């Protein structure tokens, strides 16, 4: 059946929901189409942090910095990949986006006042306040629409309970050493068990799940027409402008103002991955299965340009494969533990290859650069039992959660000696022994002369303040010794559709395709394939979703 709307948004992650909510708040009739049965895309599985320099949450906390500082930082990091138009558009619109959602929707934020940018040695790097995260959300406020919300990842939750980076995570990490932390963690676990019994899922939503839930609540409040299980097969044009959609059921949707593409990038499009990803066959993605490049395919069919000239094609993250007791296998993203004191990353020869305390993107970059073509891109995170029980390793949780089951299933490798551990992993025993001895020689003094762990604010934040003199460095001495195999992975794609500062999709000549916008990972990253800070996926997704919705509504910045 043919129908008409003002604006169609394809995809329901951060970019799509932001565009839909913005346009609806500005008076447009909006239809949001999602091919999955649930909403949220990869955003619902994410940590939820949003990079938005100059945001009003930071200003309320008393953090006021030079407006040029974030631009200076990005110029220093991106070099020849600096996209002046899109970077300037992002930096101008990100604070507006945060303020808009806080003032007019159910999306409210908390500030990351202590979260620094990744590369603290560069000019303009921030030391806190540039990131925000959605406030926790009571899922009951969604009513029946809760059934539309994508469930969180099994690997990154505790029996379905999301734990938020910051004070919440610290409480769980220190619950056996702090009565206050124990009380906080116990209360959260008990509430979660109650919710599982009553509702079959966690109701205290945090991280990306809270972001999606708040945007969904806002969309419902503003009358957005949300349709799941809908596949778009083609864009329609008239006089060079996108004016509608064709659907897989044979129907058409006429779009007076146009279409926003936010389908989640091409992390599961094997053909595009082969063209753009180094060592594609070894790469594992954390993106949802529905991220198959639909938006890019639709746009290219009407002449859109695809940008693959970025430094890296995806937002990298090291991952380990998790064998669950029920036979299912999943992926765990190694975000937290690499910067903690008492763990090192090594290759098959037993040697370190990177600064483990830098960003997760940097870890995979270093791994791909260190392993010759033709050899498996494998690494191992190595620690001792003291580290394992204090911080956990991969999906193995810290005390008091048992760990031996993961050893029996082969996920966690152990050895009474460093050499035993090396043999269990298939690592060169002499090389690992020499590496651990070299590490231990100076680790007790907090020194890492090889890679200088703990020398920037970002690295120190990832460490443990109780470990002195360097919160990121400690010896590996107490048996049994432990390791988890880690491979290249990613959260989603950086390569994507060429867009301008108004989020309009561009054709091969650099001209905008009128009536067509892109947000999230359907659009090429404005940061040129670099990873300047945590939240640089969701920050542009929300910001350019907001920009697209505003532009479609004809509003001026």
> How do the pLDDT tens digits run along the chain, 557 residues long?
569 999 999 999 999 999 999 999 999 999 999 999 999 999 999 999 999 999 999 999 999 999 999 999 999 999 999 999 999 999 999 999 999 999 999 999 999 999 999 999 999 999 999 999 999 999 999 999 999 999 998 898 888 888 887 788 788 878 888 888 889 888 888 888 888 898 888 899 999 999 999 999 999 999 999 999 999 999 999 999 999 999 998 999 999 999 999 999 999 999 999 999 988 888 999 999 999 999 999 999 999 999 999 999 999 999 999 999 999 999 999 999 999 999 999 999 999 999 999 999 999 999 999 999 889 999 999 999 999 999 999 999 999 899 999 999 999 999 999 999 999 999 999 999 999 999 999 998 999 999 999 999 999 999 999 999 999 999 999 999 999 999 999 999 999 999 999 999 999 999 999 999 999 999 999 999 999 999 999 999 999 999 999 999 998 78
- Rounded to whole angstroms, how far apart are CA atoms 12 and 169? 27
Backbone angles phi, psi at 6, to 5 degrees: -80, -50
DSSP-based three-state secondary structure for 410: coil
The pTM for the full model equals 0.95
Rounded alpha-carbon distances, angstroms, from residue 102 to 135, 187, 203: 11, 29, 22
**Which residue is associated with the tokens 């099994």?**
154
pLDDT at residue 129, rounded to an integer:
95
**Which residue is associated with the tokens 């910001």?**
543
- Residue length of the chain: 557
Backbone angles phi, psi at 321, to 5 degrees: -85, 125
Rg (alpha carbons) of the chain, rounded to whole number: 23
State the sign of the Cα–Cα–Cα–Cα dihedral 56, 522, 268, 289: positive
The full set of domain ranges for the chain reads 315-490
pLDDT at residue 473, rounded to an integer:
97
> Smallest Cα–Cα separation from 489: which of 355, 331, 371, 374?
331
pLDDT at residue 298, rounded to an integer:
98
pLDDT at residue 396, rounded to an integer:
96
Element (H, E) at 364: helix 360-370
> Smallest Cα–Cα separation from 91: which of 110, 67, 121, 115?
67
pLDDT at residue 181, rounded to an integer:
83
Architecture of domain 315-490: Alpha-Beta Complex (3.90)
């Amino acid at each position: 059946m043919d129908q008409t709307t003002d604006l169609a948004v394809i995809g329901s992650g951060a970019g799509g929901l932001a565009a839909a909510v913005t346009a609806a708040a500005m008076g447009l009739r909006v239809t949001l189409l999602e091919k999955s049965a649930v909403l949220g895309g990869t955003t619902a599985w994410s940590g939820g942090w949003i990079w938005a320099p100059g945001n009003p949450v930071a200003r309320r906390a008393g953090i006021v910095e030079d407006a040029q500082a974030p631009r200076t930082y990005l110029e220093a990091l991106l070099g020849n990949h600096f996209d002046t138009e899109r970077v300037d558009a992002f930096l101008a619109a990100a604070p507006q986006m945060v303020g808009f959602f806080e003032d007019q929707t159910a999306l409210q934020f908390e500030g990351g006042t202590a979260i620094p940018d990744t590369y603290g040695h560069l000019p303009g790097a921030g030391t806190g306040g540039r990131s925000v995260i959605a406030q926790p959300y009571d899922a009951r406020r969604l009513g029946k629409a809760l059934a539309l919300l994508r469930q969180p990842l099994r690997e990154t939750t505790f029996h379905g309970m999301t734990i938020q980076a910051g004070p919440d995570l610290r409480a769980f990490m220190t619950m056996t050493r702090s009565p206050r932390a124990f009380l906080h963690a116990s209360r959260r676990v008990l509430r979660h068990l109650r919710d599982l019994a009553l509702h079959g899922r966690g109701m205290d939503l945090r991280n990306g799940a809270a972001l999606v839930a708040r945007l969904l609540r806002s969309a419902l409040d503003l009358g957005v027409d949300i349709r799941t299980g809908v596949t778009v097969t083609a864009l329609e044009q008239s006089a060079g402008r996108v004016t509608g959609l064709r659907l897989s059921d044979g129907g058409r949707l006429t779009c007076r103002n146009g279409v926003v593409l936010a389908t989640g990038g091409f992390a599961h499009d094997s053909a595009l991955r082969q063209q753009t990803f180094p060592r594609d066959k070894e790469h594992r993605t954390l993106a949802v299965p529905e991220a198959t490049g639909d938006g890019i395919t639709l746009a290219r069919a009407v002449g859109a340009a695809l940008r693959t000239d970025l430094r890296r094609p995806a937002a990298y993250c090291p991952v380990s494969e998790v064998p669950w007791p029920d036979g299912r296998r999943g992926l765990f993203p190694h975000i937290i533990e690499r910067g903690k004191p008492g763990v090192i990353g090594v290759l098959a020869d037993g040697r370190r290859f990177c600064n483990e305390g830098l960003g997760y993107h940097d870890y995979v970059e270093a791994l791909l650069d260190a392993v010759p073509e033709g050899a498996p891109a494998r690494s191992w995170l190595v620690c001792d039992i003291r580290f394992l029980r204090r911080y956990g390793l991969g999906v193995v949780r810290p005390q008091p959660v048992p760990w031996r089951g993961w050893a029996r299933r082969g996920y966690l490798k152990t050895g009474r000696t460093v050499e035993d551990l090396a043999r269990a992993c298939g690592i060169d025993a002499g090389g690992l022994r020499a590496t651990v001895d070299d590490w231990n020689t100076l680790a007790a003094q907090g020194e890492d002369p090889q890679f200088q762990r703990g020398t920037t604010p970002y690295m120190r934040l990832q460490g443990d303040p109780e470990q002195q003199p360097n919160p990121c460095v400690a010896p590996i001495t107490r048996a049994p010794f432990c390791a988890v195999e880690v491979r290249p992975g990613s959260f989603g794609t950086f390569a994507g559709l060429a867009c301008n500062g108004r989020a309009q999709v561009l054709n091969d000549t650099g001209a905008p395709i009128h009536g067509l916008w892109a947000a999230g990972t359907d659009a090429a990253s404005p940061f040129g394939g670099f990873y300047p800070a945590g939240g640089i996926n969701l920050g542009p997704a929300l910001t350019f979703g907001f920009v697209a919705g505003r532009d479609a509504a004809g509003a001026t910045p």
